[in-house]
């Protein structure tokens, strides 16, 4: 790095973060709440869910909450709204749909 001191705390502005996604310390991703990046968010309907866990398996952010082997909700603090969970939810269930934030 260029000698500039970067911040990695959760309150750092984007200008203060290390460039190019450099990870300066292990295990720090949880402290960065990135859910406010999204334009759309997944809306989960537990009554339609068939518990296939496809949404959990395909979510690139690990934002699908699972307890005792069952989907129980979505971690909106880290979900970036990519919509992969909604696409992968089987047509016979469609328990997740994308809605405007």
For residue 48, is it within any domain?
yes
For residue 21, is it within any domain?
no
For residue 25, is it within any domain?
no
Domains of the chain: total: 1
Residues 7-18: tens digit of each pLDDT: 767 777 878 777
For residue 85, is it within any domain?
yes
Residues 47-92: tens digit of each pLDDT: 999 999 999 999 998 999 999 999 999 999 999 999 999 999 999 9
| Domain containing residue 91: CATH number | 3.30.70.20
For residue 81, is it within any domain?
yes
For residue 91, the enclosing domain spans: 33-100
50-59 long-range CB contacts below 8 Å, 24 or more apart? Answer: 50/90, 50/92, 50/93, 50/95, 52/89, 52/90, 52/93, 54/85, 54/88, 54/89, 54/90, 55/84, 55/85, 55/86, 55/88, 55/89, 55/96, 57/88, 58/84, 58/85, 58/88, 59/84, 59/85
For residue 9, is it within any domain?
no
**pTM given for the model:** 0.72
For residue 4, is it within any domain?
no
């Amino acid at each position: 790095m260029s000698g500039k001191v970067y911040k990695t705390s959760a309150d750092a502005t984007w200008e203060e973060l290390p460039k190019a996604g450099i990870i300066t310390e292990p295990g720090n991703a949880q402290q960065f709440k990135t859910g406010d990046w999204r334009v759309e968010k997944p809306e989960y309907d537990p009554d339609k869910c068939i518990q296939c866990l496809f949404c959990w398996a395909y979510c690139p952010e690990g934002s699908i909450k699972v307890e005792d082997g069952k989907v129980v909700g979505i971690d909106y603090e880290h979900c970036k709204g990519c919509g992969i969970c909604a696409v992968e939810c089987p047509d016979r269930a469609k328990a997740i749909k994308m809605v405007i934030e």
